[in-house]
Amino acid sequence: MAPVLAQSATAADFSNDTILVTILKGAAILVFLLLSVLFAIWFERRLVARFQQRIGPNWNGPQGLLQSLADAMKLLLKEDITVKAADKIIYLVAPIISVFCAFMVFAVIPFGPEVSIFGVVTPLQMTDFPVAVLYILGITALGVYGIVLGGWASGSTYPLLGAVRSTAQVISYELAMSLALVSVFLWAGSMSTSQIVASQENTWWAFTLLPAFIIYIISMVGETNRLPFDLPEAEGELVGGFHTEYSSMKFAWFFLAEYINMLNVSAVATTLFLGGYRAPFGIGLLFDGALDTGWWGVLWFLAKLWLLMAFFVWVRGTLLRFRYDQFMNFGWKVLIPAGLATVVFYAVLKGLSTGPDALLSFGGTVLTIEWRQLLLGVVGGLVVAAVLMLLFPGEDDAKDAKDAKDATGTKRAAGTAKAGTGSAADAEPFDPFAGGYPVPPLPGQKLPPSPRKARVTTPAAAPSSSETTVGAGEDEK
């Protein structure tokens, strides 16, 4: 286990910054995010095309690099339509909230160490403060208001359902993400982004806090509404989700916010778990740390950032979309309990690492064992025992599983026999429009027959002989 370096980690010094330097930093972040979004769209389309053995965009510009710019101009020149039933003010403000919150996260992300800008020695970071990570969590939680208000203000069914899904999704995965970051706070001894990067001088927290890193990686995909967790905008179920009624630049703002949020969570993972702007260990040792200084830090930061962006694309091209109940069960029943267990484990480990060592005596020989090693050994043994119990169930477990399977088969057969008696046909039809919005039926409820289907499937009645005679007589007259 790596030693804790929080005591020696120092925060970034912004005392030399002038107003001009601060303005330049803000403008550089804005330009970086806008250009990164254009590149990310091209990057994703090319990489997914490579996964699916296609070419991808290759017409506009060399290797299709200008395709993203062409798409942006197309959105800008499209007709701007506002729905009549929409709440006009909130309908317009919602995408602004999303994109504004997305731009604010990079204000506390360190791009590199101290450099000289126009003779001013300053960190490659706009600002920092003792609770910078809490600021990031608050901004990302606030950004969901854009999605919720946009779906509600559209005055339409499918955007409303997408907004409700987004609310539940962000609450679920924001909790898991926060629990993953608590372990970093414990071991780094700070919530300042610059101090957390400084605390990873000897080792990255992704290795020391591997379970927390895995939980964060999963949560960041759910937080950004990306496949396989893009339930608020599931095209197969909700047409387009919360932005169905948006067009032109208002839709482009939502689109821009989604890609900036991907950059945001990737930058947070790079800063808190992957050493930030520090060079990889082998390269850093080879050059005696020379590549950790100056503008080299920007190179390492961007390399780690785009590796995580490639992970987003890889997941999108590999996994299928979850069902909504599977998605929520995974968040509440798997990720959050795993996050709580991780926090408790590393908190105990942190507390014991500062205590006295264990002394074991064997025939006059005293053996000293660190508490961390002892605890890790105990936990490792429990994990191995649990895995063996799952792989090799006992006789009682096998018997219980067989009894449960037999009971399920009997129950299924009984249900089939009951359905054959006509009891299912006697169920009261379910009215999906009773509350104003269409609601899918619950298990056991039955939708009324479709009148359109009845008209299509029922053949027209043949006219009787008397009707034919009367009709013929009237024609003769």
pLDDT in tens, 117-147: 888 888 888 888 889 999 998 898 888 888 8
Between 197 and 402, where is the model more confident?
Answer: 197
Q: Where are the domains of the chain?
A: 19-350, 358-397
Check whether 461 has a pLDDT greater than 60: no
367: pLDDT strictly greater than 50: no
Mean pLDDT throughout 274-296? 73
Please give the model's pTM, rounded to 2 decimal places: 0.73
The runs of H, that is alpha helices, within 64-200 are: 67-77, 88-104, 132-153, 157-188, 193-198
Our measurement of the distance from residue 159's CA atom to the centroid of its chain's CA atoms, rounded to an integer in Å, reads: 20
Q: What pLDDT, on a 0 to 100 scale, did the predictor assign at position 394?
A: 53
| Average pLDDT estimate for 443-459 | 70
- 204 contact partners, CB below 8 Å, separation of at least 6: 273, 274, 275, 278
Average pLDDT on 385-389 reads: 60
What is residue 441's three-state secondary structure?
coil
| H/E run at residue 259 | helix 248-273
Amino acid at 57: P
> What integer pLDDT is reported at residue 311 of this predicted model?
92
The interaxial angle of helices 296-318 and 210-223, nearest 10 deg, is 70
Q: What percent of the chain has pLDDT over 90?
A: 18
Give me the mean pLDDT over the 340-346 stretch: 87
Model pLDDT, residue 216? 93
Average pLDDT of the segment spanning 65-71: 88
Which ranges in 53-87 belong to alpha helices (H)?
67-77
C-alpha span between 65 and 76 (Å, rounded):
19
Percent of the chain with pLDDT over 70: 73
Region 431-449: mean pLDDT is 76
Which residues pair with residue 123 across a beta bridge? 114
Most confident of 135-149, 284-298, 386-400, 453-467: 135-149
Q: What is the pLDDT at residue 355? A: 53
User: How many Cα atoms sit within 13 Å of 411 on the Cβ side?
Assistant: 6
Give the mean model confidence (pLDDT) for residues 432-442. Answer: 75
Predicted pLDDT of residue 468: 46
Point out which residues pair with 324 in neighbouring strands.
none
